[in-house]
Structure 1
Amino acid sequence: MDSPKRTPLHQIHVALGAKMVAYGGYDMPVSYPAGIAAEHRAVRERVGVFDVSHMGEFEVTGPDRNAFVQQITCNDVGALRPGQAQYSAILTDQGTFVDDCLVYRFEDRLMLVVNAANIATDWAHIVAQKRGANVRLRDISDATALLAVQGPGAEALVAPLTPVGVAMIPYYHFAEGKVAGVQCFISRTGYTGEDGFELYCRASDTETLWHALVGAGRGEPCGLGARDTLRLEAGYPLYGSDIDAAVTPYEAGLGWIVKLDKGASFTGLAALKQQKLTGVKRRLVGFKVTEPKVVARHGYGVYVNDGQVDVVRSGTVTPTANCAIGMTYLPAAAAKPGTAFTIDVRGKRAPAEVVTMPFVARRTKK
Structure 2
Amino acid sequence: MKTTPLFEAHKALGAKMGAFAGYDMPLYYGEGVIKEHEWVRKHTGLFDVSHMGQVTLEGAGAAQFFERLTPSSFQAKKPGRAQYTVLTNEKGGIIDDLIVTRLSEDKFFAVINAGCKEKDIEWMRQNLPDGLKITYMKDHALLALQGGWAERILHETFEINAHELPYMHLMEARTPYGTKIFVSRLGYTGEDGFELSVPADKAVEVWEALNNHPEVKPIGLAARDSLRLEMGYPLYGHDINEGTSPVEADLSWVIGKENKGFIGAARVLNDRENGPARKRVGIRLMDKGIAREGAEIRDSQDKKIGELTSGGFSPVLKESIGQGYIESKQANIGEKVFVNVRGRNIPAEVAAMPFVPARTKSMKKQAA
Question: Which bracket does the TM-score occupy, shorter chain normalised?
Answer: over 0.9
From 264, 269, 273, give the equivalent of 1:268.
Answer: 264
Whether the aligned pair in 2 keeps the contact of 1:180 and 1:209 (CA below 8 Å) is no
Query: Would you say 1:223 and 2:230 are equivalent positions?
Result: no
TM-score, normalised to structure 1, is 0.95
From 120, 136, 142, give the equivalent of 1:122.
Answer: 120
Name the SS of the counterpart of 1:5 in structure 2.
coil
Amino acid in the other structure paired with 1:184: I
Work out the CA distance in 2 between the residues paired with 1:96 and 1:337: 25
Deviates more, 1:18-27 or 1:157-166: 157-166
Partner of 1:111: 109
Note the C-alpha offset of 1:255.
0.2
Whether the aligned pair in 2 keeps the contact of 1:72 and 1:90 (CA below 8 Å) is yes
Query: Would you say 1:301 and 2:296 are equivalent positions?
Result: yes
Note the C-alpha offset of 1:268.
1.5
Work out the CA distance in 2 between the residues paired with 1:256 and 1:310: 23
Query: Would you say 1:201 and 2:198 are equivalent positions?
Result: yes
Partner of 1:67: 64
Instruction: Mark the runs of 5 or more structure 1 residues left unpaired by the alignment.
Output: none
Amino acid in the other structure paired with 1:315: G
Whether the aligned pair in 2 keeps the contact of 1:242 and 1:327 (CA below 8 Å) is yes
Deviates more, 1:334-343 or 1:155-164: 155-164
Aligned length: 359
Amino acid in the other structure paired with 1:237: P
TM-score, normalised to structure 2, is 0.94
Amino acid in the other structure paired with 2:184: S
Partner of 1:339: 335
Partner of 1:245: 242
Amino acid in the other structure paired with 2:94: F
Name the SS of the counterpart of 2:75 in structure 1.
helix
Work out the CA distance in 2 between the residues paired with 1:209 and 1:216: 12
String of CA shifts for 1:121-176, please: whole Å, max 9, x gaps: 1112111112x432011222x21111100001111100123344211100011110
Work out the CA distance in 2 between the residues paired with 1:284 and 1:9: 35
Whether the aligned pair in 2 keeps the contact of 1:164 and 1:175 (CA below 8 Å) is no
Work out the CA distance in 2 between the residues paired with 1:237 and 1:56: 18
Name the SS of the counterpart of 1:78 in structure 2.
coil
Work out the CA distance in 2 between the residues paired with 1:188 and 1:22: 28
What is the alpha-carbon root mean square deviation over aligned residues?
A: 1.4
Note the C-alpha offset of 1:180.
4.7
Partner of 1:288: 284
Work out the CA distance in 2 between the residues paired with 1:76 and 1:115: 21
Whether the aligned pair in 2 keeps the contact of 1:159 and 1:167 (CA below 8 Å) is no
Whether the aligned pair in 2 keeps the contact of 1:291 and 1:350 (CA below 8 Å) is yes
Amino acid in the other structure paired with 1:298: E
Instruction: Mark the runs of 5 or more structure 2 residues left unpaired by the alignment.
Output: 363-368
Note the C-alpha offset of 1:77.
1.1
Deviates more, 1:209-218 or 1:197-206: 209-218
Work out the CA distance in 2 between the residues paired with 1:150 and 1:180: 21
Query: Would you say 1:168 and 2:164 are equivalent positions?
Result: yes
Work out the CA distance in 1 between the residues paired with 2:159 and 2:15: 32
Partner of 2:75: 78
Work out the CA distance in 2 between the residues paired with 1:309 and 1:154: 42
Whether the aligned pair in 2 keeps the contact of 1:64 and 1:133 (CA below 8 Å) is no
Work out the CA distance in 2 between the residues paired with 1:28 and 1:260: 39
Amino acid in the other structure paired with 1:161: T
Work out the CA distance in 1 between the residues paired with 2:76 and 2:290: 42
Work out the CA distance in 1 between the residues paired with 2:248 and 2:314: 24
Note the C-alpha offset of 1:260.
4.7
String of CA shifts for 1:23-79, please: whole Å, max 9, x gaps: 111111110011111111111001100000011112111222222122112111113
Query: Would you say 1:317 and 2:313 are equivalent positions?
Result: yes
Partner of 2:366: none
Partner of 2:365: none
Question: Aligned pair in 2 of structure 1 residues 267, 30: CA closer, same or farther (>3 Å)?
Answer: same
